[in-house]
Amino acid sequence: MKRPFVFTSESVTEGHPDKLCDQISDAFVDHILRRDPYARVVAECAVSNAIVFIAARFDTPNPVDFPYIAREVIDQVGYAEPQFNAKTCTVVTSLREMPPDEYSRFDEKNLTYDEIDRVVVRNQATIFGFACTQTPAFMPLPIWLAHKLARRLTSVRLRKMLPDLGPDGWTQVAVEYEGRRPSRIHSITVIASTTRQDTTLKGLRDGLTEAVVAPVFADEPFRPDERTRIFMNPDGLFYGGGPSVHSGLTGRKNAIDTYGEYSRHSGAALSGKDPLRIDRTGAYAARYAAKNVVAAGLAEECEVLLSYSIGLAQPVSIQVETFGTGKIPDDEIAARVERHLDFRPAAILRQFNLRYLPSTVKGGFYRRLASYGHVGRMDIGLPWEVTDKAHLLQSGS
């Protein structure tokens, strides 16, 4: 087993400029698929100062008001200060309407096995999914705790428990490991933006410790001890925050979206893409596979790799790594995964109902994934988080 080590993961609130861009991009996906589940869209966003730049390619017969949707997200996230707000920011667009593509207009619910095989991937990708027994959500402990702190920071702001908090914020948790198992909390960092320059630093730090950190760890098996280092806005007040202070870009927080760097993740952005993009949906399928392996008791940690090539439906490679925690050989686990799970694009669409979720989830589906992780969520009923294949993987039949 690996010698003792410290591992750190970070999260950010939905007001962080990168996450703001992810939410805007996924709000486009929700809006377009809600009206046309067979539509195609790839959208990216960048923000800096008071400028929002949108680049999108899409295929849908319905009109889309991209600037209006972007402003709506900015307002809902909570930016209302003069430096950056939904009303006065400049929205610049670069839009390209793609010609109608009959390739995407199939109903995966009614396809036969052979018809599913004819729906091939149109972009190559190598994708990773991961799961472990460190938390009830089968997620690594550092990213699990970092997300909890970030969510709590936003909740405290929205409930006005601390005055003058802004939408932008960071959290970080470092965990000590022994024998690849968490042993204690090494350090905790919370950075909160403020909307007033006369906020007292001591008052802010005391408030964050009491209102954010203490409640998050109250029900956790690992809590800060006398040696845990706790940093509340260690560089002082962070006035304003958001795009007026630092720029944002869609897809720049892949580690936060997945496993906090504890496991590998693909380099492609998850947000801003319709479900036919395998670099998005394949990541969900890989997580589903890894979680079911761990839930089946076949390993304490599992990383599943899926590699796709353009023009093929099946992955060209399916690999499993259990980091020495497997109860049976990794090759056998990979064989069981390949036997019981279908990783072809149309099969993933059907398994998770991905093209219809925006119309069935109030307030949109994909935008909810754009903050606090696309995987390991226990606040949303994500179809790739269920463990309904565990019994099949366990039996090996």
Let me know if residue 311 belongs to a domain: yes
For residue 286, is pLDDT > 70? yes
Digit-coded pLDDT (tens) for 140-187: 999 999 999 999 999 999 999 998 999 999 999 999 999 889 999 999
Let me know if residue 57 belongs to a domain: no
Let me know if residue 226 belongs to a domain: yes
Q: Dmax over Cα atoms in the chain, in whole Å?
A: 66
Query: Do 388 and 296 have their domain in common?
Result: yes
Q: Tokens standing for 322?
A: 């259990």
381 burial level (CB within 10 Å; 0-12, 13-18, 19+): exposed
Mean of the pLDDT values across residues 268-285?
A: 96
Residue pointed to by tokens 């909740």: 155
**Per-residue confidence (pLDDT) for residue 163, from 0 to 100:** 86
Digit-coded pLDDT (tens) for 202-222: 999 999 999 999 999 999 999
Q: Evaluate whether 180 touches 1 at the Cβ level (below 8 Å).
A: yes
Last residue of a domain, one of 239, 263, 288: 239
**Per-residue confidence (pLDDT) for residue 104, from 0 to 100:** 86
Let me know if residue 83 belongs to a domain: no
For residue 276, is pLDDT > 90? yes
Q: Alpha-carbon distance 319 to 68, whole Å?
A: 43
Let me know if residue 15 belongs to a domain: no
Query: Do 289 and 186 have their domain in common?
Result: no
More reliable by pLDDT, 268 or 273: 273
Query: Do 293 and 228 have their domain in common?
Result: no
Let me know if residue 335 belongs to a domain: yes
**Per-residue confidence (pLDDT) for residue 198, from 0 to 100:** 87
Query: Do 153 and 217 have their domain in common?
Result: yes
**Per-residue confidence (pLDDT) for residue 13, from 0 to 100:** 98
Q: Alpha-carbon distance 69 to 316, whole Å?
A: 38
Instruction: State the average pLDDT for the chain.
Output: 95
Q: For residue 33, give Cα distances in angstroms to 120, 229, 369.
A: 21, 46, 15
CA 71 to chain centre: 22
Percent of the chain having pLDDT more than 90? 92
**Per-residue confidence (pLDDT) for residue 99, from 0 to 100:** 87
Let me know if residue 47 belongs to a domain: no
pLDDT confidence bin for 295, thresholds 50/70/90? very high
The DSSP 8-state label assigned to residue 190 in this structure reads: E
Q: With the C-alpha atoms ordered 108, 45, 99, 267, is the resulting torsion angle positive or negative?
A: negative
Q: Alpha-carbon distance 291 to 387, whole Å?
A: 7
Q: Alpha-carbon distance 98 to 310, whole Å?
A: 20
Look up the domain containing 383 and give its range.
Answer: 116-134+278-395
Residue type, 43: A
For residue 397, is pLDDT > 80? no
CA 230 to chain centre: 26
Query: Do 333 and 381 have their domain in common?
Result: yes
Buried-exposed string 353-371: b where 16+ CB fall within 10 A, e elsewhere: ebbbbbeebeebbbbbbbb
Of 169, 190, 189, the closest CA to residue 240 belongs to: 169
**Per-residue confidence (pLDDT) for residue 89, from 0 to 100:** 97
Write the secondary structure of 49-70 as one string of H (helix), E (strand) and C (coil).
Answer: CCEEEEEEEEECCCCCCHHHHH
Query: Do 191 and 130 have their domain in common?
Result: no
CATH of the domain at 388: 3.30.300.10
Last residue of a domain, one of 218, 239, 260: 239
Query: Do 130 and 145 have their domain in common?
Result: no
Let me know if residue 383 belongs to a domain: yes
CA 393 to chain centre: 26
Q: Alpha-carbon distance 305 to 321, whole Å?
A: 8
Last residue of a domain, one of 214, 239, 264: 239
**Per-residue confidence (pLDDT) for residue 362, from 0 to 100:** 85
Query: Do 122 and 179 have their domain in common?
Result: no
For residue 1, is pLDDT > 80? no
Of 293, 263, 273, 285, the closest CA to residue 348 belongs to: 285
Count of domains for the chain: 2
Lowest mean pLDDT among 111-115, 185-189, 196-200: 196-200
Q: Alpha-carbon distance 298 to 111, whole Å?
A: 32
Of 246, 255, 285, the closest CA to residue 21 belongs to: 246
Of 82, 55, 49, the closest CA to residue 70 belongs to: 55
Beta strands in the chain (DSSP E): 5-12, 40-48, 51-59, 80-81, 84-85, 90-97, 125-132, 165-178, 181-194, 229-232, 238-239, 248-249, 301-308, 317-321
Listed in sequence order, the DSSP H helices in 17-126 are 17-35, 66-77, 113-117
For residue 75, is pLDDT > 60? yes
Q: Alpha-carbon distance 154 to 167, whole Å?
A: 7
Q: Pairing mode, if any, of strands 125-132 and 80-81?
A: unpaired
**Per-residue confidence (pLDDT) for residue 3, from 0 to 100:** 84
Query: Do 308 and 213 have their domain in common?
Result: no
Q: What are phi and psi of 235, to 5 degrees?
A: -95, 10
For residue 363, is pLDDT > 90? no
Query: Do 178 and 200 have their domain in common?
Result: yes
Mean of the pLDDT values across residues 295-302?
A: 98
pLDDT confidence bin for 316, thresholds 50/70/90? very high
Query: Do 201 and 288 have their domain in common?
Result: no
Query: Do 316 and 344 have their domain in common?
Result: yes
Q: Evaluate whether 288 touches 129 at the Cβ level (below 8 Å).
A: yes
